[in-house]
Amino acid sequence: MRKSGTTVYLYELAWILPSIAIPVGMLAALTVTAFGAGMHLPSVAGRVSPTKVAQTAPFDQPGVVQVGPGRYEVRMTSQIWSYAPNEIRVPTGSTVTFIATSKDVVHGLFVPGANVNAMLLPGQITRVTARFDKAGEYPLLCHEYCGIAHHTMWARVIVEPRS
């Protein structure tokens, strides 16, 4: 028994050390790629009272605003079961910052293929930025259950080729 205990101990050690090294290595890779590539997750971007969204700037005037050369801001509200604006047109190569919130329940802001994936919570302002290099029509979807017609809640991002 003693002997087999020692053997077990050696095997254990041979497994434990890589088991520490693997997650640590993955973490390092994760941190480097996330920050090296300039990835940002939604962070703290301010509050807005859900019952006063329509009276609060910039949500009193939802729409797309050019804020610099090749830089656009989408000021967006979400409500059951639509987005305002529901069509966003920008030229290719644009950097688009979505500034959005919800007027009622939790919604999502998801543009597959464009690194835009964020939650829209009533009470919170969500701020996410993405670059659109390829021309085409991107669906913008609500990906959080928000009631009986959740599956009809969507908008479009139309990226137009520069002429």
Partner 1 sequence: MSRVLEMPRPLAAPVDGRRPAHGENRLTAAFLIVALLALFGGTVTGLLQALDHAGVHVPGQGIFVKSYYHSVSLHGVLNVLVWTTFFISGFMPFLMVRSLGRPLASLKLGWFTFWLMIGGLGIAAVPLVTNAATVMFTFYPPLKAHAAFYIGLTLVVVGTWLVTLNMAWTLRSWWSENPGRRTPLAAFMSMVTFAMWTIASLGLAAEMLFMLIPWSLGWISGTDALLARVLFWFTGHPIVYFWLLPAYVSWYTLVPRQAGGRLFSDPLARASFILFLVLSTPLGFHHQFTDPGIHQGWKLVHAFLTFAVFFPSLLTFFNVVASLENGARARGGRGWVAWFAKLPWGDPSVAAQVGAMLTFAFGGIGGLVNASFSMNLLVHNTAWIPGHLHLTVGTAVTLSFMGITYWLVPTLRGRALWSRRMALGQVWLWLIGMVIFSNALHRLGLMGMPRRTQISLAPYLTAEWKALLPLVGIGGMLLFVSAMLYFLNLALTVFASRQACGGEVLFAEALSGADHAPVLFDRWKPWLVLAFVLIALAYGPSLLQLAVTTPFDAPGLRVW
Task: Give the burial string for 74-108 (b: 16+ CB within 10 Å, else e).
Answer: bbbbbbbbbbbbeebebeeebbbbbbbbbbbbebb
Q: Quote the tokens at residue 163.
A: 């002429």
Report the residue from 17, 19, 55, 86 that binds partner 1 according to the rule CB under 8 A.
19
Binding segment toward partner 1, per CB under 8 A, in 56-64, 68-76, 86-94, 124-132: 124-132
Site string for partner 1, 80-119 (x = CB under 8 A): x---------------------x-xxx-x-x-xx-x-xxx
Helix or strand run (H / E) with residue 39:
none
Our finding on whether 32 is near partner 1 (CB under 8 A) is no
SS (H, E, C) 100-143: EEECCCCEEEEECCCCEEEEECECECEEEEEEECCCEEEEEECC
Cβ closest to partner 1, residue 62 vs residue 122:
122
Residue 49 interacting with partner 1 (CB under 8 A): yes
Total of residues contacting partner 1 (CB under 8 A): 66
State in angstroms the smallest separation of the CB of 35 from partner 1: 9
Question: Across the strands, what pairs with 118?
Answer: 109
Task: Tell the residue number behind the tokens 């969500």, with chain if given.
Answer: 126
In terms of CB distance, is 66 or 136 closer to partner 1?
136
Q: What DSSP character marks residue 48?
A: -
Question: Interface residues with partner 1 (CB under 8 A)?
Answer: 1, 4-5, 8-9, 11-12, 15-16, 19-20, 22-24, 26-27, 30-31, 33-34, 37, 39-45, 47, 49-51, 80, 102, 104-106, 108, 110, 112-113, 115, 117-127, 139, 141-148, 150-152, 154
